[in-house]
């Protein structure tokens, strides 16, 4: 009996130690690269079951969901990817970045993994991409969860848009890296999703935001109202960083929403 207890404790200790050592976004055992004509898309896969893509925010990477991946991968095949021009993914295209282009990359990865339908959890820019994906590829998506998404730039408020424009001008004057400028310009110009496009989304959607989110509350409510099969949840006391501040609660909500 004592040997069995010792063995169980050893296994639990190993599992705990391994989970503590995993560096999501820098895990060679789970990481692979999808080579596209104008980008290399880095991604990591964890768990089995229904596919759930995790899409981080502007300038982020896979590790944005480091708190969610352990739990979500117990229920789903989690595909966490670095969006092009971010994290370990590259971008050699000369055109401006767009959320539609990001959605095309998600489609390319889903096809490469031979996945007929996917679910998406997108934070901030990742949420914008999830909505664009649901619009452009309705037959490829089952459910989407967005946290702090917007469907046009002023969703953050006109003042914030003007601040970003000033920041972009300063970055150009200071000859900052083009990659950083392109990512900021993306938020100034995009997305350009219309009410009619939202109305046509057939995927079930959970629209999430923090009580003190960067995205204006009326904008979040507008998105939820215009997507036919959607629900809304505002996390009390949270900011734009719901996936970090409310990781356990968000994971629970995602699991319940997808499994319904």
Q: Mind listing the pLDDT tens digit for each residue in 147-159? A: 999 999 999 999 9
Radius of gyration of the chain (CA): 19
Q: Is residue 97 within 8 Å of residue 72, measured between CB atoms? A: no
pLDDT band at 22 (very low <50, low <70, confident <90, very high): confident
**Is the CB of residue 235 less than 8 Å from the CB of residue 210?**
yes
Asked whether residue 258 carries a pLDDT value surpassing 60, the answer given is yes
Residue ranges covered by each domain of the chain? 31-259
CA dihedral 92, 146, 79, 191 (to 10 degrees): -10
Average pLDDT over residues 80-105: 97
Distance of CA 186 to the CA centre of its chain: 16
Q: Are 231 and 256 in contact (CB under 8 A)?
A: no
Residue 260 banded pLDDT, cuts 50, 70, 90: confident
Q: Which CATH architecture has domain 31-259?
A: 3-Layer(aba) Sandwich (3.40)
Alpha-carbon distance of 93 to 59, in angstroms, equals 17
Beta partners for residue 42, in sequence order: 33
Q: If DSSP codes are grouped into helix, strand and coil, which group holds residue 173?
A: helix
Residue with tokens 């889903």: 110
Instruction: Tell if the pTM clears 0.85, that is, is over it.
Output: yes
For the chain, percent of residues with pLDDT exceeding 70: 92
Q: Which SS3 state, helix, strand or coil, does residue 46 take?
A: strand
């Amino acid at each position: 009996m004592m040997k069995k207890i010792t063995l169980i404790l050893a296994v639990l200790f190993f599992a705990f130690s391994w989970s503590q050592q995993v560096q999501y976004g820098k895990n060679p055992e789970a990481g692979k690269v999808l080579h596209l004509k104008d980008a290399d898309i880095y991604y990591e896969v964890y768990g089995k079951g229904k596919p759930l893509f995790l899409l981080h925010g502007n300038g982020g990477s896979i590790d944005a969901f480091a708190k969610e991946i352990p739990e979500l991968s117990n229920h789903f095949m989690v595909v966490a990817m670095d969006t092009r021009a971010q994290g370990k993914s590259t971008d050699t295209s000369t055109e401006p970045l767009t959320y539609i282009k990001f959605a095309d990359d998600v489609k390319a990865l889903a096809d490469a993994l031979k996945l007929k339908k996917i679910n998406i959890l997108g934070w901030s820019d990742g949420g914008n991409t999830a909505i664009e994906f649901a619009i452009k590829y309705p037959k490829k998506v089952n459910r989407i969860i967005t946290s702090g998404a917007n469907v046009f730039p002023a969703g953050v408020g006109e003042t914030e848009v003007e601040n970003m424009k000033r920041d972009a001008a300063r970055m150009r004057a200071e000859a900052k890296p083009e990659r950083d400028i392109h990512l900021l310009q993306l938020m100034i110009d995009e997305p350009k999703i219309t009410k009619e496009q939202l109305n046509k989304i057939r995927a079930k959607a959970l629209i999430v935001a923090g009580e003190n989110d960067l995205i204006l509350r009326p904008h979040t409510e507008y998105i939820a109202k215009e997507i036919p099969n959607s629900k809304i949840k505002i996390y009390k006391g949270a900011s734009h960083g719901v996936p970090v501040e409310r990781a356990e609660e968000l994971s629970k909500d995602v699991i319940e929403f997808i499994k319904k």
